[in-house]
Structure 1
Amino acid sequence: MIRWLLVSAALMSATPVLAQTCPWRAAWGSSQLKPDAANALPAGALTDTTLRQIVRLSIAGKRLRVRVSNAFGDTPLHITAATLARSASNSTARIADGSLRSLRFAGQAGAVIPSGADWLSDPVDLPVAAFGDMAVSLHVAQVPASQTAHPGSRATSWVVRGDATAAADLPAATPIERWYLLSGIEVESCAARDGVVVLGDSITDGRGSTTDGNDRWTDVLARRLGGRAAVINQGIGGNRVLLDGLGPSAMARLDRDVLALPGVGHLIVLEGVNDLGTLGRDRQPSAAEYRDLVARLTGAYAQIVARARARGLKVHGATILPFASNEYYHPGADAEAARQAINAWIRTPGHFDSVIDLDRVTRDPKRPDRLLPAYDTGDGLHPNPAGFRAMAEAVPLEALR
């Protein structure tokens, strides 16, 4: 008996203690699309070029990996070198001393990314704090004629000829306010809670925010969460729920932009104003056409909720902001009635797991079909930074726990 106990104790002491494995979590992301002529770089502009792009993570981590995208390329994308570093200043191309890390792809210095695909780098050790700015540098040897990009970055990136991925600064680089080929950064984290992804249009993308200021409403929400949970902005300017336009529709991009993200537990949906606006932009639709749009749009919301809940996400519906004074869409009484009907559906208990009533906090009490003047950029559609703060402060944080 004593011998058996001694043997058992020896076996137990010899059993290795396994290191704790922390889950991968999305820490930053951007929705990709095929840019239009106004936002695409000239043909050949990315060949033998280094792109240095500055992005801000909303949670901390010690190991990171980068997701490069060729989602809309028509041929393979050739990346020959890539690096990750802490940014010294998010309005310059400088990187912080001692922070440069080479990125590898399956152990190789580069990768050939197939058409339509995203590609994860190997993990690298690089401690970063919540709200740390990161510089991702990609040397592109060969790029598809059909580009993959995110035009509405509201952040400065840098382009220079040759392989400058290891350079501490890029004084000869050309600044651009767009992101290309970069769709996400993930961190290993046991400390962070499940993240929040926001599916939206230009209001979420940050039209009306300050370049390099990180004052979109999603940025303010992330700061309210204090780095305890990531907020991933998947807004596209001009995006619609039902139809493609500037980027794929919300329904078409749900899997790639939301359901494929690791470590996400909540989805906020703020889309629909462009569906309403484009219906009546060039003609006067009938009331019946607006009623049909309401039925199709709310049906699409229900589809989003069902698909996200099947993946274990809680889905939060944000009401559509007022836009009656917008001269681009020039909505009339029928469009406003449709907006009210859609918002009533969103507010109905059970349709979403919770409601974020952004209509209530951004409307003018004297003219509730219009944005409050203090929150209006001047176009009657897009909030300014003060409006974005009000939107973020209207999110009930207890619903995101």
Structure 2
Amino acid sequence: MHPATPRPWNPWNPWNPWTKTGRRGMLAAMTAVLTALVVSATAVAHEAHEDARQPRQQPRAAKGPVWTGAWGTAMQRPVEGSEDWGPNWSRQGFADQSVRQVVRVATGGSRLRIRLSHSYGTTPLRITAATVGRSAGDAQVWPGTARRLTFGDRQGTTIAPGRDVVSDAAALSTSPLEKLTVTLYFADRTGPATFHRFTTATSYRASGRHLADSGGGAFKESTNAWYLLSGVEVSGAASPRRGTVVAFGDSLIDGTGATPGADDRFTDKLAERLVAARRPLSVVNAGIGGNRILNGSSCYGDKATDRFRRDVLDRPGVRSVIIHLGANDIGAPEMDDPCMGAAPHVTARRIIDAHKELIRAAHARGVRAVGATILPMKGALFPVYSEQGEKVRTAVNRWIRTSGAYDAVLDVDRALANPADAALPRPGYVFRDGLHPNEAAFHAIASAVDLGVL
């Protein structure tokens, strides 16, 4: 048998191997393919190296409004008020009452929505109606700015135990750093209310329905806690790269030591820096006073590794998280605080392993993790310091600074430390309890943040 005669090709076809032109074309094509393979392999290797160094990027979001967390807080179980933390209404809840809460948004937009949490409820919670408006100071609302909020196009909603609900978008333009009022009306008895225990703001309560009142005369009662309201989110900003930075941790993040009503917590100062620098980032505060990374308690919130997803990762548009945790784990064995619950002595290794767990969770969602070193603890006017605890604090801080596990470091310890004794806070940077930062110290911490890493 003879081989089949090749089918004649068009000699002008550059792929014809029986012509010089065709042979040159095939050689050029093979060279191009080999070159592409080498370039592709190099790019894959480079991308793999980059993936090992940086968090995985989040998938591209579907078309629609891009929401950013403009304000937020971390939710806690209902507890009784106390002499140290002040009275609150969480245990008794509400019935035929209006609750007006004042919040400062870190960024603005053309539309907004609110997020309500029934995380620690045991029975369905009925929200009869809600409004949002511009604050005119105290419990007052600027006339003509109140907007009715709806939930699935209805004026009220029922929240199942353990769940959150987000309102429909409302057309209210907002500016960075302005204050809003959110008013909730409960016609029926709510039972104990999920809340945030300590704030530097004031919330107000009135008997009956006072959703649209511009005056504050009906709101005769007040506390320094937030109830059910866990977030205010905005959309419609000019920058498509806008996102949220969440500060997550304990009382240093929550704002113990800040002046009530002055908006001078660390997160407030950071938000002001971002606005002044025209950075397209908002700041949400997810700190809880007394919170620990290894153990939870009824008064000081779930342990940080348990609440991280809800309080950080499930918020819209999160790009970075700043984490300050470990001080209460170290100090708890020295405290005489029955509200702290289990207070075992902890090792640096256990705290570091818990930090690693938070970092892995952040990176899995494409979120950059910034580690904040633990503040100086010596000199506190209540039992929290010990020599053994100081060794643990020093070891954890060394790991945060040098391990490379975090994407960046905010060195709170060095920003606050006394030059004469690094275990003590710098004179003039400490609250009257000898431990927590004051306004000047919060400014120093915010100034130590490299905005570029966020």
The answer, yes or no, to whether TM exceeds 0.5 is yes
Question: Do residues 223 (structure 1) and 275 (structure 2) align?
Answer: no
* Residue from 92, 102, 107 that aligns with 2:153: 107
Residues of 1 paired with 2:91 and 2:410: CA distance? 43
Residues of 2 paired with 1:247 and 1:193: CA distance? 30
Residues of 1 paired with 2:380 and 2:255: CA distance? 17
Trace 1:127-276 onto structure 2 (pairs within 5 A).
127-173=173-219, 174-188=221-235, 189-191=237-239, 193-226=242-275, 228-245=280-297, 246-276=300-330
* Residue from 405, 408, 415 that aligns with 1:354: 408
Q: What amino acid maps onto 1:138 in structure 2?
A: L
Residues of 2 paired with 1:339 and 1:229: CA distance? 31
Structure 1 runs not aligned, ≥5 long = 1-19, 284-288
Residues of 2 paired with 1:123 and 1:69: CA distance? 17
For the aligned residue pairs, the C-alpha RMSD in angstroms reads 1.7
Residues 81, 163 of structure 1: 8 Å contact kept? no
Residue 381 (structure 1) shift:
1.4
* Residue from 68, 87, 92 that aligns with 2:135: 87
Q: What amino acid maps onto 2:214 in structure 1?
A: A
Runs of 4+ in 1 over 6 A off after TM superposition: none
* Residue from 28, 33, 53 that aligns with 2:76: 33
Trace 1:113-124 onto structure 2 (pairs within 5 A).
113-124=159-170
Residues 370, 380 of structure 1: 8 Å contact kept? no
Residues 67, 118 of structure 1: 8 Å contact kept? yes
Residues of 1 paired with 2:199 and 2:292: CA distance? 18
Structure 2 runs not aligned, ≥5 long = 1-62, 82-86, 338-343
* Residue from 136, 144, 148 that aligns with 1:98: 144
Trace 1:383-394 onto structure 2 (pairs within 5 A).
383-394=437-448
Residues of 1 paired with 2:188 and 2:411: CA distance? 46
Residues of 1 paired with 2:65 and 2:164: CA distance? 23
Q: What amino acid maps onto 1:361 in structure 2?
A: A
TM-score, structure 1 normalization:
0.89
Partner of residue 65, structure 1: 113
Instruction: Specify the SS of the correspondent of 2:382.
Output: coil
Residues of 2 paired with 1:274 and 1:331: CA distance? 10
* Residue from 390, 408, 412 that aligns with 1:336: 390
Instruction: Specify the SS of the correspondent of 2:309.
Output: helix
Q: What amino acid maps onto 2:251 in structure 1?
A: S
Residues of 2 paired with 1:324 and 1:277: CA distance? 11
Residues of 2 paired with 1:42 and 1:372: CA distance? 37
Partner of residue 124, structure 2: 76
Residues of 2 paired with 1:113 and 1:143: CA distance? 14
Residues of 1 paired with 2:69 and 2:201: CA distance? 19
**Structure possessing the higher radius of gyration over alpha carbons:** 2
Residue 147 (structure 1) shift:
2.1
Tell me the alpha carbon deviations over residues 326-368 of structure 1, each in whole angstroms, 9 at most, x when there is no partner: 2323422111111000001101242100011110010111111
TM-score, structure 2 normalization:
0.79
Residues of 2 paired with 1:279 and 1:223: CA distance? 37
Tell me the alpha carbon deviations over residues 84-141 of structure 1, each in whole angstroms, 9 at most, x when there is no partner: 101112xx11111221100001111101111111110010110000111111000012
Residue 276 (structure 1) shift:
0.4
Tell me the alpha carbon deviations over residues 39-76 of structure 1, each in whole angstroms, 9 at most, x when there is no partner: 54276551111000000111110010001111111111
Residues of 1 paired with 2:100 and 2:238: CA distance? 29
How many residues are aligned here?
Answer: 373
Residues of 2 paired with 1:58 and 1:41: CA distance? 27
